[in-house]
Each structure stands twice: as C-alpha cells, then as structure tokens.
C-alpha cells in the first residue's frame, strides 16, 4: 500500500518531510512524494480569496500514484459553509487534501511550550494522519486525544495526539 503526497503550489520541504514521517509512523504504508503541481485556478473563489477544497482532492486523485493520495497546499481552503478547513477527505475515497495556511497561527492554540516550528510540524503530521484516516474509512472520534477527533481550530489540533486511539486503530486498515 502506498500513500502519495501531491504538493500543490509552493510547499516547504519541511512540510513534505513531516507529512511523510507522520504517515509512515502511523500507517503500514510506503510514502512517496510526487512532483509539485500548479494551484488549480478554477478552484479559486475571488470573492472569498480562498480555494475550494474539493478540487484539490480531485487533483490528488487524478495525478497521485498511490492507493491513497493527499494534496498538500499552502493555499487557504474552504468547503461548503465552513469558513475554512485545515483539510478534507471523503470517507474511504482515494483522494484527500490538507492546507498549511492556517496551521502556522499561534493565536488560538498554544498550550504547548514547544517552538513555533515544532508546533507547526506537529500540526502538519496530525492533519495528514487525520485526512488519510478518513480515506481508510475512519470517521470522527469523540476521544479528544485521538488524531481522528474533529479539530475546527488549531487549539483542538494541539490537544490531540499524533496517533489513533485503540478503537480507531482497530477500525483502520
Ligand atoms: Zn475529519
Ligand atoms: Zn479514535
């Protein structure tokens, strides 16, 4: 089983590395990184100055070489009525996406005394593990320490751990 990371736009090498490490640590999978793709301008909403997340999922599905594929982008994403999303995936689908745009903020998180760089890296790993979890059929988990807990703000991302709880672990793969 392979998970392919599809960078969309200018993705920091640190982000690609952290995403790969996070996925390898949690799932029994190989991880590859595709060539970077241009940001799909058709996904841009000029009024919102944001991008539609679904189109990034479609792109990952189309160009990714893995059984599961995850687009990673620095652009700001939204989905339907949600003002923004850190990521999106369809349950048991083959494509998914995360955005690093809002993961650098410290304003509404920050219970940690780790450096800003480490906190950002932690969030990247948690979000890729979370979205790929959905592609493995996992839904949101009520356990707020579980990586499958729903995290609408970085605060919840910081609270949760980088791994699946026992129950999600049993349901994955
Ligand atoms: Zn989710
Ligand atoms: Zn769980």
Q: What is the pLDDT of residues 105-153, one digit of tens each?
A: 765 555 566 788 899 999 999 999 999 999 999 999 999 999 999 999 9
Token duo for residue 155: 């605060």
| Catalytic status, residue 118 | no
Token duo for residue 35: 């060539």
Q: How far apart are the first and last CA of the chain?
A: 10
Q: Which among 41, 131, 139, 156 is annotated as catalytic?
A: 131
pLDDT for 49-85, tens place per residue? 999 999 999 999 999 999 999 999 999 999 998 999 9
Q: How far apart are CA 31 and CA 114, in angstroms?
A: 27
Q: How confident is the model at residue 19 (pLDDT cuts 50, 70, 90)?
A: very high
Q: How far apart are CA 161 and CA 164, in angstroms?
A: 8
Instruction: Give the pLDDT confidence score for residue 96 in this predicted structure.
Output: 98
Q: How far apart are CA 77 and CA 32, in angstroms?
A: 23
Instruction: Give the pLDDT confidence score for residue 112 in this predicted structure.
Output: 61
Q: How far apart are CA 5 and CA 3, in angstroms?
A: 7
CA of 50 to the centre of ligand 1 (A): 20
Instruction: Give the pLDDT confidence score for residue 17 in this predicted structure.
Output: 98
Which candidate, 171, 165, 166, 164, places its Cα nearest to that of 23?
A: 164
CA of 87 to the centre of ligand 1 (A): 7
Find the radius of gyration of the CA atoms of the chain: 15
CATH topology of domain 2-171: Collagenase (Catalytic Domain) (3.40.390)
Q: How confident is the model at residue 173 (pLDDT cuts 50, 70, 90)?
A: low
- The dihedral region occupied by 27, where left means phi > 0, alpha psi between -120 and 50, and beta the remainder, is beta
Examine the pLDDT at 165 and tell me if it is beyond 60. Answer: yes
- Please answer whether residues 147 and 128 qualify as being in contact, where contact means their C-beta atoms are separated by less than 8 angstroms: no
CA of 156 to the centre of ligand 2 (A): 14
Nearest ligand atom owner, CA of 170: 2
């Amino acid at each position: 089983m392979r998970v392919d990371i599809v960078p969309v736009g200018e993705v920091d090498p640190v982000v690609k590395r952290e995403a790969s490490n996070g996925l390898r640590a949690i799932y029994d999978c190989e991880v590859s990184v595709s060539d970077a793709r241009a940001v799909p301008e058709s996904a841009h909403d000029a009024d919102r100055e944001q991008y539609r997340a679904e189109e990034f999922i479609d792109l990952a599905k189309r160009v990714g070489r893995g059984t599961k594929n995850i687009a990673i982008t620095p652009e700001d994403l939204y989905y339907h009525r949600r003002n923004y999303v850190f990521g999106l995936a369809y349950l048991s689908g083959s494509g998914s996406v995360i955005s690093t745009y809002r993961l650098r903020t410290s304003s509404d998180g920050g219970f940690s005394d780790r450096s800003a760089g480490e906190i950002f890296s932690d969030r990247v790993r948690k979000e890729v593990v979370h979205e790929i979890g959905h592609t493995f059929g996992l839904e949101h988990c009520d356990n707020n320490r579980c990586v499958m807990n729903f995290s609408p703000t970085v605060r919840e991302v910081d609270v949760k751990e980088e791994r699946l709880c026992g129950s999600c672990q049993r349901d994955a793969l």
